[in-house]
């Protein structure tokens, strides 16, 4: 067979018969053939290696994440190189350098390092890098919305009649040395949610040896107490300590973890926890690296993996949300998954508020009055210049008022139409009577006061004159209405254009599956499923 046929068989490409492929693979097996990935990498310009840098594997969260990453990477044809840092920034930097030396196509990093200098060094390596767990400014990140998830945990505990909350924040003392972004965000979520529930008694334990401190707090009160931990790993240690000392955990003390690691399924007494979709995070992170390594993702674009979450606005389970990984560029305030319906509703409300915040009513009214006067003057000039009445020109009165309002920076909302209608009606009345007043003054040398008195007399004493005035006014108002409809069309067009412009600035942090933009930017996806009772 030809070299091309062998290549197709060994690399699983189409274009050959299955029997031929089977025979070639059988012969390769007999000859002890092993594909040389280094040579393949030279030809393709890729090493087919992905680096995975984690703290350790003692915490099952990282062990489970590593398993997910390896499975997803293998499905995409990659081999994973795992390095552990033990939360040492110097060791982490060395690990990243080693992976670059191996020619890794991308790196998944749970960073212990932090700071602008470190981030600048990573950017200088020019290797696609996605963070998990902790964040680094300007790099893609796959994770959950930590603050919202912990906030849900607080509200969950409060809804179960716990009156005291104890939050264990042992990472606090490491803040000056290493990156604790995920732990800090969870703590901030706890603080924000607890502040909104002032009846709760809250305590924070920051000592590294937290078990004695927690036990002291439990013994200081007989009130139902919920112990909240930022990881299942810590929660399990506390649960074991309470059991060993015979504390009635289920009676008045509740324990809640965070991560929903697989190990919890094998406990005789289930531990309540906050799910953070480890499987989805790992798969999304690998997909982001794969896309970047294959030049399929441009700077600033986001890569999404679909799954259901809890909408933070209506609290209903969402099925049309998308988790997004930020791809390069400055990471914004964040992004969240919401219902399309909620997103559109909030977007429209925000757009309306944005429009209302621009412009000034007073200057707009002045502009509308000036525009109305110009419209009336133009109509009078045409009538006396041509000695004919063109009622259709009355449509210029509301248009003049509307564009006068707009030119002098009035707020472009429904008030613009209201003021245009008022000015147009006043203008039509002024035009109808103004023509007769001007005619009396120009052709019959009456004074302004005499012309007014003459019109009053005609309206009161001469039915034919009154009918003619009313007919003329009605005709003018009909064309004024036509002008108002034109104003409404212009306003609607401007508003839609404004929405499109504002969307790029206000809602560019997330796109829904159907392409619409949600209402705001929060941190990450909220996927806070509870495990256990």
Closest Cα partner for 385 from 466, 442, 437?
442
Residues 265-301 have pLDDT tens digits of 877 777 888 888 888 899 989 988 888 776 533 333 3
Distance CA 167, CA 191 (A): 9
The partner residues of 306 in beta bridges, in order of sequence, read 322
b/e string for 275-310 if b means 16 or more Cβ within 10 A?
bbbbebbbbbbbbbbbbbbeeebeeebbbbbebebb
H or E element in which residue 281 lies: helix 278-293
Distance CA 204, CA 227 (A): 10
Closest Cα partner for 258 from 286, 238, 242, 285?
238
Contact 446, 440 (CB under 8 A): yes
Helix axis angle, 463-506 to 414-443, nearest 10°: 150
Q: Is 38 exposed, middle or buried (0-12, 13-18, 19+ CB in 10 A)?
A: exposed
Can you tell me which residue has the tokens 């001469």?
462
Task: DSSP letter for 525, please.
Answer: B
Q: Beginning with the edge strand found earlier in the chain, give each strand of the sheet holding 141-142 in spatial order.
A: 79-84, 49-54, 106-109, 129-132, 141-142
Distance CA 142, CA 131 (A): 6
Distance CA 228, CA 246 (A): 20
State phi, psi for 446 to the nearest 5 degrees: -80, 155
Distance CA 452, CA 429 (A): 14
Task: DSSP letter for 189, please.
Answer: H
What confidence score (pLDDT) does residue 103 get? 87
Distance CA 357, CA 260 (A): 45
Distances (CA, A) of 114 to 177, 396, 411: 9, 64, 46
Closest Cα partner for 454 from 469, 437, 477?
437
Contact 54, 24 (CB under 8 A): no
User: Average pLDDT of each block of 10 consecutive residues along the chain (533 residues)?
Assistant: 83 82 89 73 70 92 93 90 94 94 91 92 90 89 86 89 91 86 92 89 91 89 90 88 69 86 79 85 89 53 38 48 33 42 60 59 85 84 75 80 80 79 85 79 80 82 82 81 81 54 33 33 32 29
H or E element in which residue 101 lies: helix 89-101
Closest Cα partner for 49 from 89, 83, 7?
83
Greatest Cα pair distance in the chain: 120
Contact 494, 412 (CB under 8 A): yes
Can you tell me which residue has the tokens 């990659």?
78
The long-range contacts involving 299-305, CB below 8 angstroms and separated by at least 24 positions, are: 299/327, 299/328, 299/329, 300/327, 300/328, 300/329, 301/327, 302/326, 302/327, 302/335, 302/510, 302/511, 303/140, 303/327, 304/511, 304/513, 305/280
Distance CA 531, CA 261 (A): 10
What confidence score (pLDDT) does residue 457 get? 82
Mean pLDDT of the chain: 76
Helix (H, G, I), strand (E, B) or coil at 510: coil
Residues 13-63 have pLDDT tens digits of 778 888 898 899 888 888 888 876 666 655 555 788 999 999 999 888 899
Distance CA 64, CA 446 (A): 98
Distance CA 204, CA 503 (A): 40
Helix (H, G, I), strand (E, B) or coil at 137: coil
Contact 276, 65 (CB under 8 A): no
C-alpha 392 chain-centroid distance: 49
Distance CA 266, CA 270 (A): 8
Distance CA 121, CA 139 (A): 12
pTM of the model: 0.53
Angle at the Cα of 164 (from 150 to 211), degrees rounded to 5?
80
What confidence score (pLDDT) does residue 186 get? 92
State phi, psi for 55 to the nearest 5 degrees: -65, -55
Say how many Å lie between the first and final Cα of the chain, rounded: 64
What confidence score (pLDDT) does residue 305 get? 34
What does 451-507 look like in DSSP terms, one character per residue? HHHHHHHHHHH-HHHHHHHHHHHHHHHHHHHHHHHHHHHHHHHHHHHHHHHHHHHHS
Distance CA 190, CA 230 (A): 10
Residue ranges and CATH numbers for the domains of the chain are 1-35 (no CATH), 37-139+276-296+305-328 (3.40.50.2300), 145-275 (3.40.50.2300), 357-506 (no CATH)
Tokens representing 360? 């000034």
What confidence score (pLDDT) does residue 514 get? 34
The partner residues of 318 in beta bridges, in order of sequence, read 309
33: number of CA atoms within 13 Å, CB side? 14
Distance CA 416, CA 420 (A): 6
- Cα radius of gyration rounded to whole Å, the chain: 36
């Amino acid at each position: 067979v030809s070299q091309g046929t062998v290549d197709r068989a060994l690399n699983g490409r189409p274009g050959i018969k299955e029997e031929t492929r089977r025979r070639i693979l059988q012969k390769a097996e007999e000859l002890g053939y092993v594909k040389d990935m280094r040579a393949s990498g030279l030809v393709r310009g890729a090493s087919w290696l992905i680096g995975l840098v984690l703290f350790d594997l003692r915490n099952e969260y990282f062990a489970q994440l590593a398993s997910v990453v390896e499975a997803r990477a293998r499905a995409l044809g990659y081999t994973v190189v795992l390095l552990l840092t033990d939360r040492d920034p110097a060791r982490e930097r060395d690990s990243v350098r080693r992976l670059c030396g191996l020619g890794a196509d991308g790196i998944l990093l749970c960073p212990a390092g932090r700071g602008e200098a470190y981030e600048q060094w990573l950017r200088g390596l020019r290797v696609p890098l996605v963070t998990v767990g902790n964040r680094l400014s300007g790099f893609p990140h796959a994770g959950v919305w930590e603050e919202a998830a912990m906030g849900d945990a607080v509200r969950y505990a409060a809804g179960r009649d716990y009156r005291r909350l104890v939050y264990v924040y042992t990472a606090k003392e490491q803040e000056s040395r290493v990156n604790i972004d995920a732990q800090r965000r969870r703590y901030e979520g706890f603080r924000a949610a607890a502040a909104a529930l002032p009846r709760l008694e809250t305590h924070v334990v920051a000592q590294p040896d937290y078990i004695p401190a927690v036990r002291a707090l439990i013994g200081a009160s007989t009130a139902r107490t919920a112990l909240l931990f930022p990881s299942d790993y810590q929660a399990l240690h506390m649960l074991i300590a309470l059991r060993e000392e015979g504390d009635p955990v289920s009676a008045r003390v509740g324990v809640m973890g965070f991560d929903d690691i697989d190990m919890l399924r094998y406990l005789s007494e289930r531990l309540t926890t906050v799910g953070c979709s480890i499987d989805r995070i790992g798969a999304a992170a690998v997909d982001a690296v794969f896309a970047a390594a294959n030049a399929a993702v441009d700077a600033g674009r986001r890569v999404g993996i679909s799954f259901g979450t809890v909408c933070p606005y209506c609290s209903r389970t969402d099925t049309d949300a998308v988790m997004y990984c930020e791809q390069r560029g400055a990471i914004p305030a964040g992004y969240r998954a919401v219902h399309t319906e909620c997103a559109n509703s909030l977007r429209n409300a925000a757009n309306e508020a944005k429009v209302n915040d621009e412009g000034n009513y007073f200057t707009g009214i002045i502009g509308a009055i000036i525009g109305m006067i110009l419209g009336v003057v133009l109509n009078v000039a045409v009538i006396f210049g041509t000695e004919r009445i063109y009622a259709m020109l009355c449509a210029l009165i509301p248009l003049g008022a509307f564009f006068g309002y707009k030119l002098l920076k009035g707020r472009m909302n429904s008030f613009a139409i209201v003021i245009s209608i008022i000015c147009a009606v006043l203008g039509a009345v002024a035009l109808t009577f103004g023509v007769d007043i001007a005619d009396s003054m120009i052709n019959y040398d009456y004074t302004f006061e005499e012309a007014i008195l003459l019109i009053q007399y005609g309206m009161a004493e001469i039915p034919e004159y009154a009918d003619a005035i009313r007919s003329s006014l009605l005709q003018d108002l009909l064309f004024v209405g036509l002008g108002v409809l034109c104003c409404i069309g212009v306003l609607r067009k401007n508003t839609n254009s404004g929405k499109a412009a504002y969307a790029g600035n206000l809602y560019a942090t997330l796109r829904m599956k159907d392409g619409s933009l949600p209402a705001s930017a929060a941190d990450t996806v909220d996927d806070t499923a509870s495990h256990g009772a």
